[in-house]
Amino acid sequence: MEEGTTYGEGPLPFFSMEREINISEFDYPLDDEKIAKYPLERRDSSKLLIYENGTIRDSQFRNLTREIEPDSLFVFNNTKVIRARLIMHKDTGARIEVFCLEPHNPSDYERALAKEKEAEWSCIVGNLKRWKEGEVFIQFPLNETTYSLRASITKRGEREQIVRFMWDAPLCFGMLLEHLGRIPIPPYLNRESQEIDNTRYQTVYSRIEGSVAAPTAGLHFTEELLGSLESMGHTLGYVTLHVGAGTFLPVKDENAARHVMHTEHAEISFDTLRLIKEKKGRIIAVGTTSVRTLESLPALAFRIHQNASPKNEIAISQWEPYDIPSSYTLDDTLDDLMNYMQKKDLSRIRFSTQIMITPLKFHFRVVDNIITNFHQPKSTLLLLVSAFLDGDWKKVYDHALQSGYRFLSYGDSCLLKHYKH
């Protein structure tokens, strides 16, 4: 099969129903001491809250193997966090922080990270008011020679700037970030990244570079635990969704349905689709990024079902999954995608997704269980959890707050079991 191709048409006019979500109903008191500032010494020593049919139990993540139905499929997001924060300076000495969000030219991660000499990225710039014109730079030694990375703004925006990078070192841009960049830990940790973050803010199965935030539910897994799952007969499958900084954007509108969801780029292989078909009913999504990828598949397949020959990358819009007919089943989804990929001789299919999973009657078609961390108040991720638990999120979070669980990226985890389709 061909290694990878992208497809699609423009967004369709989906989800016309009136929608309203009062974001104040998804608030809870999160004191600073509840936020885990650093990871535990061992990844799998975190607490694990288990929610099943309205009941809650406490366990340890290392005991996960005892909690899973036989012959399940774990779906992991194998994206890798890039060292996306660059500390640069002007000739005057002013410090300018450039946070690379996503590639602009070329626009796909693989080619952008492989670029030599010059590349353009969409960036957030710290201390932007001090960078009104001209270039900023970093000088650095490599193999006893001093090289420079220079940057200039080619297009200014309200939140993001298009930045052109130019360099004379014999390195591609991905290697340059690895050499000069810093891991972009979440802003709510309120600290600079440290050496421990280089390994611990990365899953042990990360492979495909492109994220600026980790799929944090996966941080609890060790190589040993993955091996134990396989030895017990479970199957491990992988998707890729490059996590953007938009995952940290707060919902500012009181009606969360007016929140504009960020877009992230994803891909799934034919082999993973085949595994989902074999294990349907026993699908465990590791993290909300895996959930969003998997639950975008029905919209992706339905788009292909309606238009068998899309030409560009398919962009799944925010409300598109809500208007897929209930008669369009998971089997239909998988059959349409797999038949299309076989017909086109594709090993993987790429798409972008903007879906926003909310309690507004979202129908989970693929995912049966979720492993996830504890999320920020009034966040889109908390809306996703509420949708999965049919509104029972507060019971889970109240228990976690009262039982000493650690919250957010480096915090503890929960296993949300047995969603009934």
Every domain of the chain and the residues it spans: 5-80+199-417, 84-181
Query: What is the predicted pLDDT for the residue at 246?
Result: 81
- Assigned token pair, 314: 């398919």
Longest CA–CA span in the chain (Å) reads: 65
Q: Is residue 109 within 8 Å of 100, Cβ to Cβ?
A: no
Query: What is the predicted pLDDT for the residue at 245?
Result: 82
CA 163 to chain centre: 23
In sequence order, the 6+-apart residues with CB closer than 8 A to the CB of 143 are none
Predicted structure pTM score: 0.92
Question: Which pairing describes strands 95-105 and 118-126: parallel, antiparallel, or unpaired?
Answer: antiparallel
For 252-356, where are the alpha helices, taking DSSP H only? 270-279, 288-306, 330-344
- Assigned token pair, 7: 């497809």
Residue 125: which H helix or E strand, with range? strand 118-126
Query: What is the predicted pLDDT for the residue at 19?
Result: 80
Query: What is the predicted pLDDT for the residue at 3?
Result: 46
Average pLDDT by stretches of 10, the chain with 421 residues: 44 53 96 97 97 96 95 98 96 95 92 95 94 95 96 94 97 96 94 95 97 96 98 98 86 93 95 98 97 97 82 86 94 96 94 95 95 97 96 96 98 86 47
> Could you tell me which CATH number the domain at 5-80+199-417 has?
3.40.1780.10
- Assigned token pair, 180: 């000069």
Strand segments (E) across 143-234 = 145-155, 161-167, 208-211
For 161-202, where are the alpha helices, taking DSSP H only? 173-180, 195-200
